[in-house]
């Protein structure tokens, strides 16, 4: 079995990258993800990890390096945060279009403004429809586990897609938490070596990323759509295998916390769900019928699973930790996705949007408490009135 | 759903260590890591982290490291600061001036300072928050071990230079002597410089604040 340590999400991710025996790493510093790369640089320098460690000239360069490395058949890793993530925007679609299963860790940071170091999911959510697998870790342990899970899912020949393994900056990336680091034999059993069927090799020349005619577009895009859809089954299989080998059983799509007989629930993703859980537990002890549903895989979005999970509640509060100005519903991405999933159920489940924790501010126990209070009121009266709330100003 | 104080954590102990950027931030981190690791070895729930906003890579700015210890699972897991410290420690004495080091301390809190000066002298410079302070502990940690200056371990990464090899081991020992937050034996198993820790445990001078107040 593995070793138990208290480490940050950054170090947990770096340990997973080492265990995955990644061959090419490309770095460029930006808080808060920097700790992942400084840890990997130390591992390479100390001879713990045999990998080509390239320091990029920027995030666009970083993604370009791993793009090439993955095309040449290497298991590749990179990462970024905040405006670093968006600076490399051009590369995300070509990488998934080329069906290269490299991995990028994102430790969230706000975009500018406010340009602070705090976490907001806005950065990673800007990339959400680029054909990558995407989801959030809520603890350092889950950050380690997501890295391993995503390489396995992305490299599956039925999928061949890149992955964003996201974690909340600072909260998950910097605070030390209990982590079990698995041993190499377990990881070898879970994650076979990466073998791509099309590899950039001068001995066997081929053109990759060539200019296409418009007539070829629909077919190529349809294939990428099919790859994302076929990832669904692979995601479930990978989580089953993960549970069997490592003993940590994650629900692949949504984690339900105290939802049995719950009348109201919070729907959210990421690290703040840990705070929400303590509020749910406290309110349960006071006899309130409350629960929480945490989204574990954001792309591909599990429409059916979210619908099934949320359909049993009278009212659902969707917590968005992202700034999405002018969006339908006036809250965030997750509210629109949740409402789409609930479409067809009519007015049975009332949905409220809560925008919280922007700029990296904490979402406090008291704020979750207020959200549940609002939901209770809506469940009782059956009426919503105002449906979107920007905290702390509007609730 | 309107009751107050629903989310209090009565068993939670908070340790805040103040230091000077670059020169001592590793020592501050070592103090909280050593004490929380010692507590974890005793079966308690712990957290350790560095203040995210203090910018420890700027020379000599005040920076903070935090520890939390509880007999129950920690509920306030993802926060920026210790809002109500039980223990405040300073890696160097000038932090008593101009920095509100005792902000938010709980009644009965303890202040531990790395200094050659007596508690009574330092006490004169602390302008705020002393009403909740019970003890001042002084220890000349610099005479026992040096401050290890490294950026290894910054940004949540692993500190490759090891834990408690420098002055932080002595400061941690003084904290343990004054508060009994962990068993001294548990701390000794974690820190690298066991000699400095043992000597600091003997040397540390614990002074009741009420005696200082009486002395005027």
Looking at the partner chain, which of B2, B48, B160 has a beta carbon nearest the beta carbon of A42? Answer: B160
Pick B156's closest partner by Cβ from A168, A174, A366: A174
CA distances to A3, A14, A284, B66, B146 from B161, in Å: 20, 18, 45, 20, 14
Given the structure tokens 């009348």, which residue do they identify? A263
CA atoms within 13 A on the CB side of A298: 30
**pLDDT per position as a tens digit, A251-271:** 999 999 999 999 999 999 999
Written as six digits, the tokens of B142 are: 């610099």
CA angle B16, B21, B27 (to 5 degrees): 55
pLDDT digits over B93-138, tens only? 999 998 999 999 999 999 999 999 999 999 999 989 999 999 999 9
* Structure token digits, residue B92: 């160097």
**Would you say B57 and B19 are in contact if contact means Cβ atoms under 8 Å apart?**
no
> In angstroms, what separates the C-alpha of B160 from chain A's closest C-alpha?
8
Which residue of A lies nearest to B75 if distances are taken between CA atoms? Answer: A278
Smallest CA–CA separation between B11 and chain A, in Å? 16
Q: Is the ipTM of this complex over 0.85?
A: yes
Task: Dump pLDDT digits (tens) for A75-131.
Answer: 999 999 999 999 999 999 999 999 999 999 999 999 998 878 999 999 999 999 999
Q: Please state, for a pLDDT cut of 90, what percent of chain B lies above it.
A: 88
Query: Is it true that domain B13-215 has CATH number 2.40.40.20?
Result: no
Radius of gyration (Cα) for chain B, nearest Å? 16
Q: Are B36 and B87 a contacting pair, CB within 8 Å?
A: no
Assess B215–A contact: CB distance below 8 Å, yes or no. no
* pLDDT at residue B215, as a whole number: 56
Residue among B166, B174, B191 at smallest CA distance from B27:
B166
Indicate the residue of B1, B77, B157 with minimum beta-carbon distance to A35. B157
CB-CB neighbors (< 8 A) of A282 in chain B: 6-7
φ and ψ of A174, to 5 deg: -115, -25
| Ranges A86-95, A137-146, B14-23, B49-58: which has the least confidence | B49-58
- Tens digit of pLDDT at every position of chain A (395 positions): 789 999 999 999 999 999 999 999 999 999 999 999 999 999 999 999 999 999 999 999 999 999 999 999 999 999 999 999 999 999 999 999 999 999 999 999 999 988 789 999 999 999 999 999 999 999 999 999 999 999 999 999 999 999 999 999 999 999 999 999 999 999 999 999 998 878 999 999 988 888 889 999 999 999 999 999 999 999 999 999 999 999 999 999 999 999 999 999 999 999 999 999 999 999 999 999 999 999 999 999 999 999 999 999 999 999 999 999 999 999 999 999 999 999 989 889 999 999 999 999 999 999 999 999 999 999 999 999 999 999 999 99
B208 pLDDT band, cuts 50/70/90, is very high
Measured CA to CA, the distance from residue A168 to residue B115 in angstroms comes to: 39
| Residue B55 pLDDT | 77
Query: Which residue, among A3, A14, A175, would best test binding to B if mutated, counting the most B CBs under 10 Å from its CB?
Result: A175
**Min Cα–Cα distance to chain B from A372, Å:** 8
Pairwise CA distance, residues A359 & A237, whole Å: 36
Closest C-alpha to A139, from A266, A275, A237, A243: A275
Contacts of residue B68, Cβ cutoff 8 Å, sequence gap at least 6 = B12, B13, B14, B15, B36, B46, B47, B48, B74, B76, B82
The residues of A whose Cβ lies within 8 A of any Cβ of B are 6-11, 14, 31-32, 34-35, 38-39, 42, 46, 117-118, 168, 170-177, 271-272, 274-275, 278-279, 282-283, 286, 288, 362, 365-366, 369, 372-373, 376
For tokens 């409402």, the residue is A339
Strand partners, A290: A264
Decide if A6 and B160 are in contact by the 8 Å CB cutoff: no
What pairs with residue A177 in β-bridges?
A7
What are B167's two structure tokens?
Answer: 């002055």
**CA–CA gap between residue A171 and residue A108 (Å, rounded):** 10
Using the Cβ of B37 and the Cβ atoms of chain A, whether some distance falls under 8 Å is answered with yes
Strand A76-80 vs strand A24-27: parallel, antiparallel, or unpaired? parallel
pLDDT grade for B31, boundaries at 50, 70 and 90: very high
What confidence tens digit (pLDDT) does each residue in B171-181 have?
A: 999 999 999 99
pLDDT at A224: 96
* Residue A181 structure tokens: 């680091």
Q: Can you give the pLDDT at residue B214?
A: 57
């Amino acid at each position: 079995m593995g070793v138990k340590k208290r480490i940050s999400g950054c170090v947990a991710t770096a340990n997973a990258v080492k265990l995955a025996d990644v061959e090419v790493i490309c770095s460029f510093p930006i808080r808060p993800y920097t700790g992942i790369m400084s840890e990997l640089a130390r591992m390479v320098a100390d001879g713990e990890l045999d990998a080509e460690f390239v320091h990029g000239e920027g995030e666009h360069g970083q993604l370009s390096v791993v793009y090439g490395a993955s095309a040449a058949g290497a298991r590749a890793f990179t990462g970024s945060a905040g405006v670093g993530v968006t600076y490399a925007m051009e590369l995300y679609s070509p990488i998934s279009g080329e069906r290269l299963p490299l991995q990028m860790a994102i430790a969230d940071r706000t975009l500018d403004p406010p340009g602070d170091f705090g976490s907001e999911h806005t950065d990673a959510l800007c990339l959400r429809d680029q054909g990558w697998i995407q989801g959030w870790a809520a603890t350092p342990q889950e950050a380690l586990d997501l890295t391993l899970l995503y390489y396995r899912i992305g490299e599956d020949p039925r999928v061949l897609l890149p992955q964003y393994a996201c974690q909340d900056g600072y909260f998950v990336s910097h605070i030390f938490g209990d982590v079990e680091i698995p041993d190499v034999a377990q990881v070898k059993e879970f994650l076979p070596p990466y073998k791509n069927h099309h590899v950039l090799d001068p001995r066997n020349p081929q053109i990759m990323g060539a200019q296409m005619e418009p007539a070829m577009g629909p077919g190529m895009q349809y294939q990428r759509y099919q790859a994302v859809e076929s990832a669904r089954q692979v995601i479930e299989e990978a989580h089953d295998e993960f549970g069997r080998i490592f003993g940590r059983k994650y629900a692949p799509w949504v984690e339900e916390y105290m939802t049995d007989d719950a009348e109201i629930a919070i729907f959210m993703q990421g690290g703040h769900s840990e705070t929400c859980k303590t509020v749910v537990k406290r309110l349960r002890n006071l006899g309130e019928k409350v629960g929480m549903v945490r989204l574990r895989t954001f792309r591909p979005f599990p429409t059916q699973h979210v619908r099934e999970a949320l359909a049993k509640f009278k009212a659902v509060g969707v917590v968005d930790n992202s700034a999405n100005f002018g969006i339908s519903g006036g809250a965030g991405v997750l509210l629109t996705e949740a409402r789409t999933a609930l479409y067809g159920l009519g007015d049975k489940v009332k949905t409220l949007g809560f925008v919280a924790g922007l700029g990296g501010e904490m979402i406090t126990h008291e704020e979750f408490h207020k959200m549940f209070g609002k939901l209770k009121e809506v469940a009782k009266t059956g009426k919503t009135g105002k449906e979107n709330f920007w905290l702390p100003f509007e609730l | 759903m309107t009751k107050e104080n629903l989310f209090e954590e009565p068993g939670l102990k908070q340790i805040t260590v103040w230091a000077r950027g670059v020169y001592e931030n590793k020592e501050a981190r070592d103090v909280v890591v050593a004490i929380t690791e010692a507590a974890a070895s005793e079966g308690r729930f712990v957290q350790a982290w560095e203040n995210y906003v203090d910018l420890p890579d700027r020379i000599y700015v005040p920076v903070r490291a935090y520890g939390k210890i509880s007999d129950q699972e920690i509920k306030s897991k993802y926060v920026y600061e210790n809002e109500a410290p039980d223990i405040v420690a300073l890696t160097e004495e000038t932090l008593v001036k101009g920095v509100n080091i005792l902000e938010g301390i709980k009644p009965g809190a303890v202040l531990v300072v790395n200094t050659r000066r007596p508690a009574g002298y330092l006490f004169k410079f602390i302008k705020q928050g002393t009403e909740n302070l019970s003890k001042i502990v002084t220890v000349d940690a610099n005479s026992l071990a040096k401050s290890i200056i490294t950026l290894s371990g910054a940004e949540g990464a692993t500190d490759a230079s090891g834990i408690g090899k420098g002055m932080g081991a002595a400061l941690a020992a003084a904290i343990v002597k004054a508060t009994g937050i962990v068993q001294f034996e548990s701390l000794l198993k974690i820190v690298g410089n066991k000699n400095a820790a043992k000597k600091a445990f003997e040397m540390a001078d614990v002074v009741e604040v009420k005696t200082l107040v009486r002395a005027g």
